[in-house]
Structure 1
């Protein structure tokens, strides 16, 4: 019996050792894409101690009439929340529900979206806003019409991003067709108000801008990011500028996310997560798998993003592994 116990003890100890080595050699990761399905234009946010991703449902424009959301406590395990926003709750939507921006303020969740892909100022559509009591919705349109429904300064009203500055003021950056505007949000976050000089729209378009604006403030500097190239082509990418003001001027620094023929093409339209670490950043973006030619075949991915000692963003390396778990504190 003693020999039997000794043998079992050795086997168990050996198995535990091998298991431990496997864990150390192959840590659990999110994998890329982080969840199945064709999804693009991901908006990342942290709500109630969880990471949230709100992407565009990537399909033909007439089928893009709802949006799902995904939540995770650790960046690795994701839960799907179907149809957090859909046509049933937007009276003026008929197609092309795009590129969400979601914030928490005034004890509510505000969901900004682009809809209908308007081509001129006589078509109904533009940027709308829906509201819910929790991040999983259901979100309901609160205006019964778009918040921004005209093409101003050449900017198609799509791809909005809402940024809160340190003084509590919210700004919206938006625009397609190679032009970017910014507007000042009213306290109710369902209206826009004039700037101090009386203007409503300020064009802040940087060099090579196409669409997909994003703003980050870090160490007193404003990092303005955007997508370049064509969203259906292989040259889609992300570039950035650094400024001392949310108004710019935004002088282009360079690219931070580009296609990689060993991984994917069409990488762009991103957002960021701030992890629990002091300078822990993640880039959430979409990309097109190698071999896929349909413009709507896009998947949502996450990779680490780093700053160098001088405050510049290092080029992001796209991976299939994704990121390791990082629960929020």
Structure 2
């Protein structure tokens, strides 16, 4: 009987047309990121960072560093790239604002101020030849007053000045507002996992007004680190004085496939939902190898600004109305490909196949040729597969900038229930687009065990390479159980705390939440294959609470009870590595 059912399933799949369901996205954003400008003599990389988004006349306008242009969208899913004339588009940290139906553009690197009435036509003219300030951000208050914030330094503050909104001349003093205090605020400590003793950078200001209060966001401590984040200060006036928000960092993603969530911008969509678009790091081939990420954000009933990075690089629903950013954003699709058995057509330079399944964008598989290489993944059993993310890596790409068809990506994804009869799930073989982090959600999930991706054509003249072939869906069964036995201890350095919990059967990962009150656990760290974590992003003056939830291929378990962090001064607790149990051994590798 089982054999008959299997044959019927295979035959049925052969006639299914697997169309895309467009109402979901997955970080990093799937934009046609530009290769950096070079002389073509050495391997190159892509870059985009420091986003500035304006929603105006039912369109979203996205500007980012070193992109050779900007993007426009009506839905934040499909982005149209525009190549402008008259803009110093090579400058870092662009900031765009609208006054009286005119768009204005300013940036770093000595750029002036430019304007246009129609950015779709893309013809910009210079308004001022000199418009100073590093990482500047312009803010037009609802009372008509206009301000410029700026700051880009390890030892100088974020500053502000009021401007005439017509002439852009300074009309008042230029007070410094705040400096970094990494001795007090762990999220400002520089380095990978906050381990450097060097001074961090204070940069990337952005202003959001809510209920009469001014929320001044800032980035620190360095764009090339996994802990790049945005913090926030609050004031009753744009000119200050500013007090640090108790909940900080505002935007933080130190772990996962894509890490970091710094130097961002906050904006409202057409439904009144708040979003935070950020810089996410790769920083493998160069320190400024970066991408963009999009996260739900909001204010709670007490006016606390938060950003939801839980499952921040898993499939995310996009709203069609006003929504709850905690309850409605996660698509409920689980990662099915983590460390699964994999075979490939070839391997180049020890870039192993397993690197495409280890949930680390900084490792990747590469094949020996530049076309028609493939990767096949065994999910272990038949599962309901609903989505794919095909993340390309740049292996020996010599492209400079944007050069037309050389950035076209073509690939196929096929599925099979038995490993011999295959059906096409995604066909991008004839697409004329650049899709470096392509995410496809199927309108009808496929019940399959084997998945194969075929790289037909790679952009930039590079070798076939994948930093992540990520398969999402659901395995039959009940979700992992509730996490219990959560313990947390503050260390002698009170910017740090250790958290440990019990192993939960059926889980391959855990989300660790922490916050300043039991109902404000707004920060999240995702870990795989272990039952402990160290949080290094605390304020020495705050008390904290933690909770943990388990997740696996069958879903997400019930979150643990909230536990108050033991604030007694202790040395770092020694947490033994959990032995590989049946819950982990099939899917996870221990570090």
Shorter-chain TM-score category?
A: 0.7 to 0.9
> Shift of residue 315 of structure 1?
4.2
Structure 1 residue 187 corresponds to structure 2 residue 165 = yes
Work out the CA distance in 1 between the residues paired with 2:242 and 2:278: 22
Structure 1 residue 281 corresponds to structure 2 residue 265 = no
Q: Is the 8 A contact 2:271 2:321 kept in 1?
A: no
Which of these residues, 112, 126, 134, is aligned with residue 118 of structure 2?
A: 134
- Number of the residue aligned with 1:267: 261
- Number of the residue aligned with 2:289: 297
Rate the CA distance shift 1:80–1:306 in 2: closer, same or farther, 3 A: same
* Larger RCO, structure (CA 8 Å, separation 6 or more): 1
> Shift of residue 316 of structure 1?
2.6
> Shift of residue 292 of structure 1?
3.0
Which of these residues, 38, 57, 80, is aligned with residue 48 of structure 1?
A: 57
Q: Is the 8 A contact 1:50 1:71 kept in 2?
A: yes
Deviations 1:182-230 (A, max 9, x none): 1112132x522222xxx3x221125447000011111111111000111
Q: Is the 8 A contact 2:157 2:176 kept in 1?
A: yes
Deviations 1:166-196 (A, max 9, x none): 21111010111042111112132x522222x
> Shift of residue 107 of structure 1?
3.5
Rate the CA distance shift 1:295–1:266 in 2: closer, same or farther, 3 A: farther
- Number of the residue aligned with 1:219: 211
> Shift of residue 134 of structure 1?
1.1
Work out the CA distance in 2 between the residues paired with 1:73 and 1:314: 25
Work out the CA distance in 1 between the residues paired with 2:85 and 2:291: 19
Structure 2 portions without partners, runs of 5+ = 1-11, 34-46, 182-200, 323-591
Work out the CA distance in 2 between the residues paired with 1:228 and 1:46: 26
Work out the CA distance in 2 between the residues paired with 1:28 and 1:107: 30
- Number of the residue aligned with 2:535: none
- Number of the residue aligned with 2:149: 173
TM-score normalised according to structure 1 size: 0.73
> Shift of residue 325 of structure 1?
4.8
Rate the CA distance shift 1:30–1:83 in 2: closer, same or farther, 3 A: farther
Residues 1-329 of structure 1 correspond to what in structure 2 (within 5 A)? 28-34=23-29, 35-37=31-33, 38-57=47-66, 67-83=68-84, 86-87=87-88, 97-115=91-109, 125=110, 128-136=112-120, 137-143=122-128, 145-148=129-132, 157-177=133-153, 178-188=156-166, 190-195=167-172, 199=173, 201-208=174-181, 210-253=202-245, 254-278=248-272, 280-289=273-282, 292=284, 294-317=286-309, 318-326=312-320
Local SS of the residue matching 1:238: strand
Greater Rg over alpha carbons, structure: 2
Local SS of the residue matching 2:305: coil
Deviations 1:255-277 (A, max 9, x none): 02223321323321100220233
Work out the CA distance in 2 between the residues paired with 1:320 and 1:101: 29
Local SS of the residue matching 1:260: coil
Deviations 1:94-133 (A, max 9, x none): xx60111112223421111112xxxxxxxxx3x5201112
> Shift of residue 139 of structure 1?
2.1
Deviations 1:237-257 (A, max 9, x none): 110112111112222222022
Rate the CA distance shift 1:260–1:213 in 2: closer, same or farther, 3 A: same
Q: Is the 8 A contact 2:295 2:307 kept in 1?
A: no
Q: Is the 8 A contact 1:304 1:323 kept in 2?
A: no
> Shift of residue 322 of structure 1?
4.6
Q: Is the 8 A contact 1:74 1:325 kept in 2?
A: no
CA RMSD of aligned residues (A): 2.9
Local SS of the residue matching 1:40: coil
Structure 1 portions without partners, runs of 5+ = 1-13, 59-66, 91-95, 116-124, 149-156
Local SS of the residue matching 1:314: strand
How many pairs were matched up? 269
